[in-house]
Amino acid sequence: MINLRTQNSGFALITSMILLSLIITFMAVYMLAVTNGAAMATRMANSKKAYYIAEAGLADAYERITQAGVTVIPTTANYIPSASTDNGIYSLGTSSGSYTVSITYSPSPRCNYVITSTGTYNNVSKSLQLKIIGASISKYAYWSTTESNPAFGGPLWWVGEPGLEMLTTGPVQTDGQLNIFGNPIFNGPVTEANLPVINGALGATPTSNSPNYYPGVSSNPNIIFTQGITNEAPAINLPPQQTLNSIKTSASGAGLVLTGASTVIFNPTGTITVTGKVKNSSGVVTTTYNNTTITPPTNGVIYIQSNQNQTDGNVTVQGTVSGQLTVAADQNVYLSGSVAYNSDPRTNPSSTDLVALVANQNITVIESSAPAKLEVSGVLEALQGSFQVDQYWVYRGNATQAVMDQYGSLINYVCGATGEMDMSGNLLGGWNQVQTYDTRLSTIAPPGFPPYVNNSGQGVYSKYLTGFSEL
């Protein structure tokens, strides 16, 4: 006989053991999942904290660079914060994380830095990389502090009358107030600080605040400002001494420094013809150029400094530019003729020809030697003066005969006179100035140009987050 109760008991025991084993296995898997989940959550939290710490490193480096203004951070620095004052430790909660920062600097196509910051928290690291490119004041087609110049009798006017129709393309900024006669065309965004109204020309009194429209002459803002105008915009400064010092430093390195009144003629072959003297640090003349044709300096920067009397730091220029050059002067830049590009970017978008003329005082066209059809290409900066014509009242033909094609960027502290008109808008002397912005200047700058600084003396940069990695 078979005892069926005993068999059933054994079967129940086996079943119970299997169920218990399954429960233990499930609990083990569950506990492992919980543990792994907790570990993953912890790692994700640590990773996020490391990311934020790396961001703090980028912010620290960016702040230090912008605070430096136009002073270039030494390229030998591997870590921006000083090891003696800031060792890169960044506290977070009850634990601590750290970041390390390194930078690389390049002056091409304009002042730029690549900042790499690695943040670490509990053995988890994140690396972030930020590229910042220095802005240039040449991002404006036209810039001025004021549109009123006492040397020319007060306000100077943007004219738009039949037969004399001024045209400006590209962004325009004035810290003063535009003076409008008729309907000149601004084919680009315009901003002005809208300072107090000044008296109009020829004894007239302006009837509106912003801009200063000439009374009695028909003007239509919708025609004039094709992309609108912003009034009461922040004033934008231009630090003349910092700009000159930066360019002079570049010229003293791999550039060319001339002392006293000099001449630089641009040749389409890429050479320059120079008249001037080179002096050493003791003031001794080491080289004399007398209408001598030479290869431009390696970095393309030429600076003309004054002798001890501080009045002869002037340079006279003209010619056709092939390559990239900057010519700056302690005092004035004179144009004895046209300045043009060998390869015109308007017809050849791949052209790399670029020139800048920088004067501490004025950039002046010599009327007696300049052609009726005058081309002035390049970045023009009159840091404490004007871009002007010395005898703007001399008749050179009507507005279609005497045309100044000014291509590039015009930056002058105060607006200067390039022509004279009658009350009907007819050109009585000088040139009808037509300004066209060189759009390349939104991304490049001439050799030796310092980064642009804001009203607080801080550098202005565009930011580009180039990538990140997790270690």
Claim to verify: residue 431 and residue 400 sit in the same structural domain: yes
CA–CA distance, 262 with 277 (Å, rounded to integer): 8
CA–CA distance, 45 with 338 (Å, rounded to integer): 64
Claim to verify: residue 63 and residue 155 sit in the same structural domain: no
Q: Judge whether 116 lies within some domain.
A: yes
Tell me, what's the pLDDT at 70?
A: 62
The residues near 243 (Cβ < 8 Å, ≥ 6 apart) are 70, 358, 381, 383, 450
The residues near 397 (Cβ < 8 Å, ≥ 6 apart) are 372, 427
Tell me, what's the pLDDT at 264?
A: 98
**Phi, psi for 217 (deg, rounded to 5):** -115, 130
Tell me, what's the pLDDT at 197?
A: 45
Claim to verify: residue 159 and residue 86 sit in the same structural domain: no
Claim to verify: residue 235 and residue 346 sit in the same structural domain: yes
Count of alpha carbons within 13 Å of 66, Cβ hemisphere only?
17
Q: Judge whether 448 lies within some domain.
A: no
Q: Judge whether 450 lies within some domain.
A: no
Claim to verify: residue 129 and residue 236 sit in the same structural domain: no
Token readout for 334 is: 């004179």
Q: Containing domain of residue 74, as a range?
A: 4-135+464-470
Q: Judge whether 379 lies within some domain.
A: yes
Low-confidence ranges of the chain (pLDDT < 50): 1-5, 196-207
Tell me, what's the pLDDT at 35?
A: 55
Q: Judge whether 324 lies within some domain.
A: yes
Claim to verify: residue 212 and residue 99 sit in the same structural domain: no
* Cβ-contact 90, 99 below 8 angstroms: yes
Token readout for 136 is: 């240039």
Nearest CA-CA partner of 359 in 319, 404, 308, 305: 305
Helix (H/G/I), strand (E/B), else coil: 3: coil
Tell me, what's the pLDDT at 31?
A: 60
CA–CA distance, 168 with 173 (Å, rounded to integer): 12
What total number of domains does the chain contain? Answer: 2
Tell me the per-residue pLDDT of 61-104, one tens digit each, with 9 for 90 and over.
888 888 776 666 655 555 666 655 666 776 666 667 888 888 88
Place of tokens 């400094």: 305
Claim to verify: residue 119 and residue 226 sit in the same structural domain: no
Claim to verify: residue 126 and residue 259 sit in the same structural domain: no
Claim to verify: residue 124 and residue 146 sit in the same structural domain: no
Claim to verify: residue 388 and residue 272 sit in the same structural domain: yes
Q: Which amino acid is at 68?
A: A
Claim to verify: residue 279 and residue 186 sit in the same structural domain: yes
Q: Judge whether 25 lies within some domain.
A: yes
Nearest CA-CA partner of 250 in 313, 194, 303: 303
Claim to verify: residue 89 and residue 15 sit in the same structural domain: yes
Token readout for 39 is: 């570990």
Q: Judge whether 197 lies within some domain.
A: yes
Q: Judge whether 32 lies within some domain.
A: yes
